[in-house]
Structure 1
Amino acid sequence: MLKAEYKERGPVPQDVIEAVEFTAPAPQHDEILVELQASPINPSDVLTLTGLYGILPPLPAIGGNEGVGKVVSVGEKVEHFKPGQSVLLPVGIGTWSTHIVAPAKKFIPLPDGADPQQLSMLSINPPTASLMLSEFMPLKEGDWVIQNAANSAVGNYLIQLARLRGLKTVNIVRRESLIEPLTKAGADVVLVDGDDLVKRVRKATEKAEIQLAIDAVGGTASNRLADCLASQGTLVNYGMMSGEAAQVSSANLIFKDITVKGFWLAIWFQRATKEAQQALYNELAMLIATGKLKAPIDRIYKVAEIKDAVAYAAQGERNGKVLITA
């Protein structure tokens, strides 16, 4: 048994984490023992290793925040899980571990026969994409949404969910090589970012009134999205891939009355009812299980290869997610 543990944080994420041998305890009366099937490396995981994320767990810690596992054994009082069943791992438990023991109530059963690698990415990015499309602006079929970092995991999910809801997307990327794969994924318009973005967006959408912009980049890229919004539109910022805070001009704030909002899934979970959370996950799990919602996978590493996996995930310029398996 191996766990990917780190005892300190530092600027080079792969240098602070390593695979450590351990022995998982037998599950107690209300616990289950789960073997890891797959767990993704998200940008937030890398930022956590460097100490730059919004919430940092106490040290030492095990990396990973979401994933899927298969039940190995259950405690004597556990009734709703059985060996061989696939389950969604608890968010934030430290999922880069070959085996995990935790109270059964923290796990969510998953549909039989679904791809565990795709389901391993269910907890964070799909709900982020879904909620940003629904929580900030009442959109109707045929409306346009614009986003940057469109090739990111959230960006890919947003494209698919928007299409399923009858919405159209303008997708901003940093390089031309991303245009074809995103178009095949269902993007209506894909454009390379640049100073003349607003002009090209207006041409591509036939001057559509865009009311919602989704920003993962921050810096001046935020204002380029705001430039593309209609009067009284909303820009939602959920990341700062540029390393800079979101910047929106006074002209957009004053004369166009643009609203700027932030989104963090953790805060939504603090406010949402258990029923709302379960309904969201049920909907997304079914879409993934039926193949209507999926994410590209670039590479798969084992827990024993965690240093190489983190180094590869942190470098950027990938064509999909990096997954960790047992």
Structure 2
Amino acid sequence: MKAIQARYSQRGPNPEALIEPVEVDLPDPEPGEALVEVLASPINPSDLLTLTGLYGILPELPATAGNEGVGRIVALGADVQGLREGQTVLLPLGCGTWASHLVAAAGDLVPLPDNADAQQLAMLTINPPTASLLLSEFVDLKPGDWVIQNAANSGVGGYLVKLAAERGIRTINVVRREGAAEVVRSAGGDVVLIDGDDLPGQVREATDGARIQLAIDAVGGTSTERLAGCLTDGGTIVNYGVMSGQPCQVSPTHLIFRGLTLTGFWLATWYAGASTEQRTTLYADLTRRIATGQLRVPIADTFDIRQIKQAVAAAARGERAGKVLITPRH
């Protein structure tokens, strides 16, 4: 059958100029495989970094872009058990999800509730577990504790606000503009501040000088230093992104005399080291919360796969109020 894939054969600083919608012939599914029509796939910062060549792992070129998403089974090859045509499934990580259709190993497809919001479920694989693990893997936070994060209006930031609230953890949310601040306030952020050189002072005033043991950094550059100034002695900064394009900057004073720790987090590393039980428990809990509407994040815009250039350009713009999704028209 005919399918449309978002393909690229080179990397560079302008990803929207490199990506193209390409028509391809997909083979019928072989034994143990499934033909899936893609319902929704998000554009994450990691996708843009992959297109520019700055991500930690890069696929061989040419490649089909897209790392996560949700689809519906159209046809099954022989010898497939436990799946049915018409079923909603979570697509395998990194399988080239910016496409109208794809063929995948049936054993790698995870059944999802058919009546849940496919667009929200399409964002399940990366951002929600990242937010959950950032809250649990580095500091033993208790109800009433504070955590500070920058890029609070990002996908991970939105999930973190909601998951922290469920655990009784209070959030200080740092953004770069007032429009983004209103989005985070509406999502339930306890304190929302505009980033700047006076951030540590703003935080002390807003929290009445509370102890803050954990800072979560998606920006890098001088923003990391400002987060360091907000932490109590012995606190931890966890970096999981580089939205500024700059290395994390932290004064040795914080590391040597105040005992701060700067570390990194990558979901792929956690996933590789976690047990099957740990992975299953985490994703089952998040799936239930998203399917029931407990966890939702804003969606700024949706684009057909044939509009992939416009979609990538929209996702690369900083001033958005939510995620950009590819939603192929079938």
Structure 2 length normalisation: TM-score?
0.97
1:161 is matched with: 163
The amino acid across from 2:99 in the alignment is: S
4+ residue segments displaced more than 3 Å: none
Superposition pairs of residues 72-83 of structure 1, within 5 angstroms:
72-83=74-85
SS of 2:197's equivalent in the other structure is coil
2:50 is matched with: 48
1:46 and 1:179 map into 2 onto residues whose CA distance is 24
The amino acid across from 1:218 in the alignment is: G
Superposition pairs of residues 79-228 of structure 1, within 5 angstroms:
79-228=81-230
Task: Check conservation: 2:300, 2:323, Cα contact below 8 A.
Answer: yes
The amino acid across from 1:176 in the alignment is: E
Counterpart pick for 1:296 among 295, 298, 309 = 298
Counterpart pick for 1:58 among 53, 57, 60 = 60
1:315 and 1:187 map into 2 onto residues whose CA distance is 23
Task: Check conservation: 2:183, 2:321, Cα contact below 8 A.
Answer: no
- How far the C-alpha of 1:8 sits from its partner, in A, is 1.1
Unaligned 5+ runs, structure 2: none
1:250 and 1:15 map into 2 onto residues whose CA distance is 41
2:318 and 2:290 map into 1 onto residues whose CA distance is 25
Seq. identity, % = 60
Task: Check conservation: 2:218, 2:242, Cα contact below 8 A.
Answer: yes
1:178 and 1:244 map into 2 onto residues whose CA distance is 22
1:64 and 1:36 map into 2 onto residues whose CA distance is 11
SS of 1:145's equivalent in the other structure is strand
The amino acid across from 2:190 in the alignment is: D
Deviates more, 1:7-16 or 1:131-140: 7-16
Counterpart pick for 2:323 among 303, 321, 324 = 321
SS of 1:243's equivalent in the other structure is coil
1:269 and 1:117 map into 2 onto residues whose CA distance is 23
SS of 2:25's equivalent in the other structure is coil
- How far the C-alpha of 1:242 sits from its partner, in A, is 1.1
Superposition pairs of residues 268-283 of structure 1, within 5 angstroms:
268-283=270-285
1:68 is matched with: 70
The amino acid across from 2:78 in the alignment is: E
Aligned length: 326
Structure 1 length normalisation: TM-score?
0.98
SS of 1:22's equivalent in the other structure is strand
SS of 1:162's equivalent in the other structure is helix
Write the deviation string for residues 74-115 of structure 1: whole angstroms up to 9, x where unpaired. Answer: 122111110111100000000011111111111111123110
1:165 and 1:82 map into 2 onto residues whose CA distance is 37
The amino acid across from 1:221 in the alignment is: S
